[in-house]
């Protein structure tokens, strides 16, 4: 597991930009490495988002927000962990306003979330925005990828400004320190964060 206090040592090997693309000149080896890990991370992020969204929809339809909250509360952490593990990656959902305290960002993730937030304020955050970098952590190369998550109407039932009394009560019970409410459609909610070993 990456620990909050883990120091990033060594150089940043590559920076693929947020929003647009401005990568420094790279060697051929680096280019193919980037291609491999970036495309791997994209596939994982997309698959993970699809899986979560289909589970959410299924339970919203079957039992409404109450059932969906219960399922989410009981399974989201484990599902996220297991989805990553079977694909050789560490996946987290991170946010500046966590519902589950386990989803607070590490220092690295926090810096990228802040960049995403800046982009959003400038109206430049899009569905294509992403962040990718190969870093060296304690002498080991890691690929780090973050993909922003934005609020769409279906999220408002549980993250919006006008929650039903039932949802409010349930959330209070399961998440006494919930910070993940008060969002509007289009707001930046957080990001999917992926870390992979680079071999
Ligand atoms: C039925 C209620 C419900 C809906 C609808 C819902 N969420 Fe959540 N969301 C939750 C719960 C409950 C958690 C905490 C899960 C946990 O304990 O890991 C959560 C956690 C999250 C997290 C992890 C960060 C954190 O705060 O812990 C993100 C990111 C997130 N939701 C984004 C979204 C987005 C984007 C949508 C819309 C596509 C959405 N959610 C729709 C209930 C919901």
Q: What is the pLDDT of residue 137?
A: 86
**Domain positions in the chain:** 32-197
pLDDT in tens, 23-78: 556 778 888 889 999 999 999 999 999 999 999 999 999 999 999 999 999 999 99
CA distances for 166 relative to 7, 50, 171, 172, 199, angstroms? 43, 27, 9, 10, 49
pLDDT in tens, 112-146: 999 999 999 999 999 999 999 999 988 999 999 99
Q: How does strand 131-137 pair with strand 89-94?
A: unpaired
Select from 3.40.50, 3.30.450, 3.90.550, 3.40.720 the CATH code of 32-197.
3.30.450
CA of 44 to the centre of ligand 1 (A): 18
pTM to 2 decimals? 0.89
Q: What is the pLDDT of residue 3?
A: 41
Phi, psi of 56 (to 5 degrees): -60, -50
CB 43 within 8 A of CB 192: no
What the block records as the tokens of 171 is 């959330």
pLDDT in tens, 84-122: 999 999 999 999 999 999 999 999 999 999 999 999 999
Tell me: pLDDT of 11 over 80: no
Tell me: pLDDT of 18 over 70: no
CA 95 to ligand 1: nearest atom: 24
In short, whether 147's Cβ falls inside 6 Å of ligand 1 is no
In short, whether 80's Cβ falls inside 6 Å of ligand 1 is no
Tell me: pLDDT of 80 over 50: yes
Distance between CA 162 and CA 60 in Å, rounded?
17
Tell me: pLDDT of 79 over 90: yes
Q: What is the pLDDT of residue 15?
A: 42
Q: What is the pLDDT of residue 146?
A: 97
Q: What is the pLDDT of residue 169?
A: 97
In short, whether 52's Cβ falls inside 6 Å of ligand 1 is no
3-state secondary structure 59-106: HHHHHHHHHHHHHHHHHHHHHHHHHHHCCCEEEEEECCCCCCHHHCCC
């Amino acid at each position: 597991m990456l620990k909050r206090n883990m120091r990033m040592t060594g150089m940043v090997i590559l920076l693929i930009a947020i929003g647009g693309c401005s990568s420094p000149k790279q060697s051929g080896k680096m280019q193919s490495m980037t291609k491999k890990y970036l495309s791997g991370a994209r596939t994982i992020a997309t698959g993970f988002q699809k899986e979560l969204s289909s589970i959410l929809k299924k339970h919203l339809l079957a039992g409404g927000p109450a059932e969906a909250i219960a399922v989410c509360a009981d399974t989201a952490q484990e599902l996220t962990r297991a989805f990553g593990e079977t694909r050789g990656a560490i996946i987290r959902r991170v946010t500046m306003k966590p519902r589950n305290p386990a989803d607070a960002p590490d220092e690295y993730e926090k810096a990228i979330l802040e960049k995403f937030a800046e982009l959003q304020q400038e109206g430049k955050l899009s569905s294509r925005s992403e962040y990718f970098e190969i870093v060296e952590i304690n002498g080991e190369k890691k690929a780090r990828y973050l993909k922003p998550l934005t609020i769409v109407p279906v999220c408002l039932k549980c993250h919006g400004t006008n929650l039903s009394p039932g949802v409010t009560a349930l959330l209070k019970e399961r998440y006494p320190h919930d910070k993940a409410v008060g969002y509007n459609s289009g707001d930046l909610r957080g990001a999917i964060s992926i870390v992979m070993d680079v071999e």
